[in-house]
Amino acid sequence: MFERLRKLITSLALPPGSPLSRNALAGQFGVSSTPIRDALMRLEEEGLVEVEIVKRLALEHSERLVDELNATIARQQKFAKAGDFEQFMGADNDFHRELYAATGNQELWDLVRSRSGHIDRLRRLHLPSPGKAQDIVRHHRLIVKAIGANQPDEAQRHLRKHLSGTLGYLAEIRARFPEYLSE
């Protein structure tokens, strides 16, 4: 199921911004929602789903959304300066949730959050690293700037770089915190 959905997304047979409702996809493919859920989770791990969301938003968005995203980024900046990483992570989740919600994919966001325990642990370990919080804020600003300027390719480029942030440091995080992560 994952490969079929991935091929539809990467070949553009499933146009950018298409709704990714579990029930609708299950009906379309004639399967239960469980394999669809698993496939969507794997697609999210690759960043494909959220990359398509920012592309859609860059093509069609409201100024209100841009203002809301910028307000969330301002909260993140405040928490980063205060060293309040727990609140920072909450605002980071708010930022990504707002992207999903703006395209009518709240259900998918709920699914992603329900399965993100491992990546949340990695983020929590990596966030206190010098400059990490500011890096996240910078990426979020660039994503919103591209959305506001109707630049879908730029929005996707910045999101890809943003999503690779913590995973790119996996070996370093594992070396620093071997008690939390196994091979």
Structural domains of the chain, ranges and CATH numbers in brackets: 2-176 (1.20.120.530)
SS (H, E, C) 49-75: HHHHHHHHHHHCCCHHHHHHHHHHHHH
Q: Is the pLDDT of residue 42 over 90?
A: no
- 155 burial via Cβ count (<10 Å: 0-12, 13-18, 19+): buried
Query: Are residues 124 and 175 in contact, defined by beta-carbon separation less than 8 angstroms?
Result: no
Residue-wise pLDDT tens digits, 81-130: 999 999 999 999 999 999 999 988 888 888 778 777 777 888 888 899 99
**Rg (the chain; Cα; Å):** 17
Residue-wise pLDDT tens digits, 129-172: 999 999 999 999 999 999 999 999 999 999 988 877 777 787 88
Say what the pTM is. 0.75
Using CA atoms, how far apart are residues 58 and 61, in angstroms rounded to an integer? 6
Angle (nearest 5°) at CA 40 between 153 and 10: 40
Which amino acid makes up residue 181?
L
Closest CA relative to residue 162, chosen from 180, 183, 144 = 144
Q: Is the pLDDT of residue 50 over 60?
A: yes
